[in-house]
Amino acid sequence: MVLSAEELDHLYDALVFDREGDKIGTVGQIYLDDATELPNFITVRTGLFGTKETFVPVRDAEFTGDTIVLPYEKAMVKDAPNVEPDGHLERAEQQALFAYFGLDGNGEAKAEHPDSDRDRLRRRERHTS
């Protein structure tokens, strides 16, 4: 998913749906690859008050305006491994998430961005006007 800075800002709080069209929650945070500046993961706020945040790879996700459609089922997202959204996503955490979502250890994106070592991803800070 290649998005401009403005599109990334609109992604915050976007509604998140699964591949069947069921609402999962809203986007909480965006994690960018340190080398490429491209989004690799979002967190999806779920639960009664949106208090749980689940990491989901954005590879093959579709973003349109104020919604994002993930290529996964709602139950799969909700049952994903628990990783704390603390500013950086370590390589071991990324690999566990990629494996859970059926992607290779580099999220199948390594070939697209060969200069990226994907050791760490950092949380993108929200820009407000």
Strand pairing class (39-46; 52-57):
antiparallel
| Entry pTM | 0.77
Give the span between the Cα atoms of 98 and 82, in whole angstroms. Answer: 13
pLDDT given at position 86: 77
User: 3-state DSSP call for residue 97?
Assistant: helix
pLDDT given at position 82: 86
Identity of residue 45:
R
DSSP letters of 13-74? T-EEE-TTS-EEEEEEEEEEETTT--EEEEEEEESTTS-EEEEEE-TT-EEETTEEE-SS-H
* CB neighbours of residue 11 within 10 Å: 25
Could you tell me the mean pLDDT of each successive run of 10 residues in the chain, 129 residues long?
72 92 93 83 82 88 90 94 83 91 66 42 64
Q: In the 8-state DSSP scheme, what is residue 88? A: E
pLDDT given at position 123: 67
